[in-house]
């Protein structure tokens, strides 16, 4: 009897709410019916663990972590799900130092929040650099233009940018986004506020050497994404910021997101986004939903499938478009992910039908093994 009472006490603590140190949502940020959401109550002890799965249509993700201390009844969950959530919670708590004790995590499936977690100084509306997790957003923008018929993935860059009519003339958009173009990894023209994206890319074309013949090897980098974004500017006759907002940003509830706010005319499409967990989770929901977000079709299902397939022509099958491919079986990736130098880590598991986001700033080297271990734990438990 004592053991049963103790278990009930723990579960009640886990699934209750606390107001201590509870960050508040921005008053000017109203609920706009975003189709991703959950409810949890930060505070002391176990109360940081998410409790109540609720329909996506009923809750905006901005209320993940803070909802004026509303205590609710224990959800109607099986003991199996209780154990899973405790396992997730205990893993994150035991590895908190790997995240510098600043961490937010979300796991979702269909229209239900499976788990979310928060510790530290950030809340779900805190704007933070997401570095290379920007690549998936850029790839999605390009896929939208491809759907419009203005581009194809196998178009050569030199068709649109004359400065590439040299040894780089055969580089394709697909090669740029799958890290097989041979374009250098980092460029001294990035981050310069005295250049436009056009000037940056022309400088890359004329003043840098290829690392290898296009399509023959793979080398992960971000400069190639600046090139593909410049192609988009040429065909759309708009700035990258306008193109992003029109094709993905507004549709995915990311209307306030910008690339490289310190030098927006020379953005870094491969690593320049600063955004909140809320905003990136909305984009991730679109990928998980195979192209739809909040009832709006952002990309065709076929476009998402292309992003998740091997686009390297078997040079390195871990590269999709803006995504890393994992759990590859018979050439098909059952899990895709976006990784970041800051430790931001997003993934979608197709075989078990769930998605997750780890939002932190602790850095890639410090977090990557822990992130992968947590992903493995979730994969086994879901």
The CATH number for 272's domain is 3.40.710.10
Q: Model confidence over 78-120: pLDDT tens digits?
A: 666 778 888 999 999 999 999 999 999 999 998 888 888 999 9
Let me know if residue 94 belongs to a domain: yes
Q: Residues in the chain, how many?
A: 382
Q: What is the structure's pLDDT at 79? A: 66
Give the Å distances, CA to CA, from 350 to 107, 221, 259, 357, 368: 14, 26, 29, 15, 21
For residues 350-375, average pLDDT: 97
Rounded-to-integer distance, Cα 228 and Cα 155, Å: 11
Does residue 355 form part of some domain? no
Q: 329 by DSSP, 3-state: which? A: strand
Domain boundary among 60, 94, 119: 119
- How far, in Å, CA of 376 to CA of 349, rounded? 11
> Domain containing 161: what range?
128-276+293-337
CA terminus-to-terminus distance, the chain: 31
**147 shares a domain with 91:** no
Distance CA 236, CA 154 (A): 18
Q: Which pLDDT score, from 0 to 100, does residue 277 have? A: 94
Whether residues 150 and 227 share a domain: the answer is yes
104, 133: one domain = no
Query: What are 208's two structure tokens?
Result: 């840098």
User: Does residue 230 fall inside a structural domain?
Assistant: yes
Structural domain count of the chain: 2
Confidence bin at 5 (pLDDT 50/70/90): very low
pLDDT digits (tens, 9 = 90+) for 149-160: 999 999 999 999
Model confidence over 15-40: pLDDT tens digits? 222 222 222 222 332 223 333 433 33
More confident residue, 294 or 27: 294
Alpha-carbon distance of 220 to 66, in angstroms, equals: 38
């Amino acid at each position: 009897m004592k053991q049963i009472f103790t278990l009930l006490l723990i579960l009640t603590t886990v699934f209750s709410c606390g107001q201590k140190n509870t960050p508040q949502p921005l008053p000017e940020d109203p609920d706009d019916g975003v189709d991703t959401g959950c409810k949890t109550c930060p505070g002391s002890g176990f109360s940081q663990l998410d409790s109540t799965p609720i329909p996506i249509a009923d809750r905006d993700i901005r209320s993940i972590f803070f909802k004026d201390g509303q205590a609710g009844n224990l959800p109607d969950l099986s003991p199996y799900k209780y154990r899973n959530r405790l396992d997730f919670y205990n893993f994150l708590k035991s590895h908190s130092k790997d995240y510098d004790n600043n961490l937010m995590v979300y796991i979702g499936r269909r229209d239900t929040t499976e788990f979310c977690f928060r510790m530290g100084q950030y809340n779900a509306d805190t704007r933070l650099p997401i570095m290379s997790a920007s690549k998936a957003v850029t790839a999605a923008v390009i896929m939208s233009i491809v759907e419009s018929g203005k581009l194809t993935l196998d178009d050569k860059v030199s068709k649109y940018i004359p400065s590439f009519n040299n040894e780089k003339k055969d580089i394709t958009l697909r090669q740029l986004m799958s890290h097989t173009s041979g374009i250098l990894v980092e460029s001294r023209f990035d981050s310069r506020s005295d250049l436009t994206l056009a000037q940056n890319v022309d400088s890359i074309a004329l003043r840098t050497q290829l690392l290898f013949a296009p399509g023959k090897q793979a080398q992960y980098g971000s400069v190639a994404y600046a090139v593909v974004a410049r192609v988009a500017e040429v065909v759309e006759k708009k700035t990258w910021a306008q193109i992003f907002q029109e094709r993905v940003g507004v549709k995915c509830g990311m209307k306030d997101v910008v690339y490289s706010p310190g030098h927006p005319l020379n953005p870094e499409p491969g690593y320049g986004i600063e955004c909140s967990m809320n905003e990136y989770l909305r984009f991730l929901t679109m990928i998980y939903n195979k192209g739809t977000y909040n009832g709006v079709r952002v990309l065709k299902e076929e476009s998402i499938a292309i992003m998740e397939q091997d686009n390297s022509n078997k040079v390195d099958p871990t590269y999709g478009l803006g995504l890393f491919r994992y759990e590859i079986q018979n050439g098909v990736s059952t899990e895709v992910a976006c990784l970041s130098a800051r430790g931001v880590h997003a993934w979608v598991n197709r075989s078990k039908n769930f998605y997750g986001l780890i939002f932190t700033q602790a850095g890639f080297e410090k977090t990557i093994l822990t992130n992968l271990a947590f992903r493995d734990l979730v994969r086994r438990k879901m």
